[in-house]
Structure 1
Amino acid sequence: MADLILRMIPRRVRISTTEIRERLKSEYGIETTLRTVQRDLITLEASEFPLECDDNRPAGWCWRKDATAFDIPNMDPVTALTFKLAEKHITRMMPHGVISALKPYIKAADERLKLTKESTLSRWPDKIRVVSRNLAMIPPVVTEDVTDSVYSALLEERRFKADYRTMTGRKKTYEVNPLGMAFVDGLTYLIASLNEHQDPVLLLLHRILKIELLNKPVSVPADFDLDAYIARELTFPVGGPIRLVIKFGNKEDIIRLEEAPISVDQKITLREDGAFELTATVEDTLQLHWWLRGYGERVEVVAPKGLRHKFVEIAAQMSTMYMAK
């Protein structure tokens, strides 16, 4: 029975001996007393299981914060390696509060890999790197309380009341109807509708100051599609599809674009003046503008006229700024 009790003990909240006794009966058909459950827990704690209890009656139990994960029995080397790779490659995309939930499993993975005879497997994380071409920025901190509450609201499809800090620094209180979440370059966006409004908006998790879960169900608009919303809003649209024509003088840039095209209908031709002309149908978004500006003087926007005019203005403004004494 002790192993069943261990599996019931949570990490972040406490479970009472009464709840454990009721679950033993309802889930496993085991009849027992509160005294027996309490005695078994005290014995487990004395046997060096990292448990802790409060002084409530009945007592509430949980794992200590530094406890190793016990709910993945006999973790094999491949599973351990998966957790180690997750630790290395998702921490930049996830809030700190989310990563903390994985720490017990990562700790168990460390211990498992130290014991494995497959030394080449244990050295695998030292051989793999994921590199981003974006400027590395330090993700804002999201508190564990906010993270846990938002995840609970999404999972349980419950609304919540939130104090939110706007971009201008003002604090506003909303009733939030959560619909989805997206991770973008270290930022966590919550897609939700507010108060009685139906249209979804974007909230940044690190700007949520306080949360109170409500016993009110989420209402999902009939025409809401999370992927469509993200594609529309998180690419920062400027207009609709455009036929982009740009000119490159650097052969290396063209080789990279031949290997990784920006659209399925991309075409590259060699011009009489020795430059390369790329044509492609793409969405007119701020992401496209930022991508083009990243090439600096190595790219010239030929068409459409509106976009070319925009870059003429940018070039003039930058020239004025850099030439100013």
Structure 2
Amino acid sequence: MASQHDTLIRYITMLQLIPRAPHFKATTTLRDLLAERGFQVNLRSIQRDLDKMSLYFPLQCNDQSRPYRWSFDANYKSNLPALDTATALTLVLAEEYLKSLLPQIAIDRLSAQFEGARKLLNGLQENGYANWPHQVRAIPNGKALLPAVILPAIWQGVSDALLERHAIEVQYLSRQQEEVKSFTLHPQGLVVRHSVSYLLATVNDYDDVRQFALHRIQALSASAVPYNNQLNFSVEKYIAEGAFGYPLAEQATELVAKIDKAMAWLLAETPISQQQVLSKPDANGWVTLTATVPNDQQTQWWILGFGARIQVLKPSSWREAIIEQTQQMRELYESTELKTNSANT
């Protein structure tokens, strides 16, 4: 006869196997999974156990057909519901994607969740999932640089200061002056852009918000200076105003351009903005793109990345800037080629 200890362990194991709604586990599935974990129990006992536990946990039973199907309430907050395969794959993809964006110290904070997803999928190898590590990948759009390395103490210190609203003293490597400087920073926000994490903070006694790359903070300590709280500061508004986009003007602009068929397909599925219109292809297969976009250098660089697949018609200032840029590139390559040919003769 099973001891109370064994019964308790079986109850806990069973709860861990039941997912949140809309996912479910049938009693027959629970019986097989329990058997794999060393618990030999019949269907009637499992049903009786679940009925008992539903008095204390938000368990839901679909008894419209046999075998009965069980799940946790969708809003139940707990670590007990088991991962389903779709959620596990989502976590694996999230880890793959975040590795190209977040510093390793941030990824490490989620390692338990990611490891749990991998263990679940590894445990299903006998059921046809043996090749799952070779079947899922998340790749960034464009060339992604490796995330800048951030010291664990810096990440922790910045996180604490931001959430607890207190000032910090930092030793910061200035890129412009190439020297280490001392600042009193008042954290207002945190932004991850491409492979670099930025602390948004006011400096010393000033109220304007500046950007500080976390990997350039070489030392950090709590400050005794009273915290300068910018009550009206919004990270969303700060970004929308072009802080990270190298704005050329405050107002958005209308982009009109001729694009090829492949690029038209891309933008039809993933628009460049909410205000976008694509025309029917002309006689030569070109599509006219009309879209309201930020008037910034980021958008111009995005356009340049498509090369001869896009021809900007408006705004005229962008068209002229792109023509000038391509002329400079041509001159650079032609001069390099001349020097190379001279050296070889």
TM-score, L = length of structure 1: 0.69
Consecutive unaligned residues of structure 1, counting only runs of 5 or more, are 1-71
1:113, distance to aligned residue in structure 2 (A): 5.5
Match of 2:169 in 1: 161
Within 5 Å, which residues of 2 pair with 1:98-177? 98-104=106-112, 106-107=114-115, 110=118, 119=127, 126-168=134-176, 169-177=178-186
Q: Cα 1:217–1:86, aligned 2, differ >3 Å: closer, same or farther?
A: farther
CA shift, 1:306, in A, is 1.2
Corresponding position of 1:265: 275
2:265 is aligned to 255
- For residue 323 of structure 1, report the CA deviation from its aligned partner: 1.8
> What is the distance in 2 between the residues matched to 1:112 and 1:241?
47
Ranges in structure 2 where 5+ consecutive residues have no aligned partner: 1-77, 339-345
Q: Please state how far the C-alpha of 1:210 moved relative to its aligned partner.
A: 0.2
Is the partner of 1:172 in helix, strand or coil? strand
Aligned to 2:216: 207
Percent sequence identity over matched residues?
Answer: 28
Do 1:77 and 1:113's aligned partners in 2 also have CA atoms closer than 8 Å? Answer: no
Q: Which residue of 1 aligns with 2:62?
A: none
- Residue equivalent to 1:288: 299
SS state at 1:233 partner? coil
Q: Which residue of 1 aligns with 2:315?
A: 304
SS in structure 2 of the partner of residue 151 of structure 1:
helix
Q: Distance in 1 between matches of 2:316 and 2:88?
A: 55
In 2, the alpha carbon distance for the partners of 1:230 and 1:258 equals 25
- Distance in 2 (alpha carbons) for counterparts of 1:227 and 1:244: 24
Q: Distance in 2 between matches of 1:124 and 1:252?
A: 31
Per-residue deviation, residues 132-158 of structure 1 (Å, max 9, x unmatched):
122021111101111111111112111
Report if aligned partners of 1:165, 1:171 keep a CA contact under 8 Å in 2.
Answer: yes
Q: CA deviation at 1:315?
A: 1.9
Equivalent residue, structure 2, for 1:242: 253
Aligned to 1:227: 236
Structure number, greater radius of gyration: 2
Provide the rounded CA distance (Å) in 2 between the counterparts of 1:305 and 1:175. 44
Q: Tell me how far 1:197 sits from its aligned partner.
A: 0.7
Distance 2:93 2:263 in 1: 32
Q: CA deviation at 1:89?
A: 3.2
Q: Which stretch shows the higher mean deviation, 73-82 or 309-318?
A: 73-82
Cα deviation for residue 82 of structure 1 reads 6.5
Matched, 1:279 2:290: yes
Q: CA, structure 1 residues 122+93, in 2 after alignment: closer, same or farther (shift >3 Å)?
A: farther
Where is the strand percentage greater, Structure 1 or Structure 2? 1
Following superposition, the deviation at residue 182 of structure 1 comes to 1.0
Equivalent in the alignment of 1:66: none
Q: How many residues are treated as equivalent by the alignment?
A: 253
Quote the offset at 1:280 in angstroms.
1.5
**How does the TM-score come out when normalised to structure 2?**
0.65
The letter for the 2-side match of 1:136 is A
Code of the aligned partner of 1:189 = Y
- C-alpha root-mean-square deviation of aligned residues, in Å? 2.8
- Per the TM alignment, residue 77 of structure 1 is displaced from its structure 2 partner at its CA by 3.6
Say if 1:214 and 1:258 are closer, same or farther in 2 by CA, change over 3 A.
Answer: same
C-alpha distance in structure 1 between counterparts of 2:303 and 2:125, whole Å = 50
The 8 Å contact of residues 256 and 291 in structure 2, kept in 1 or not, is answered as yes
Structure 1: distance between partners of 2:333 and 2:101: 35
Change (3 A) 1:251 1:149: same
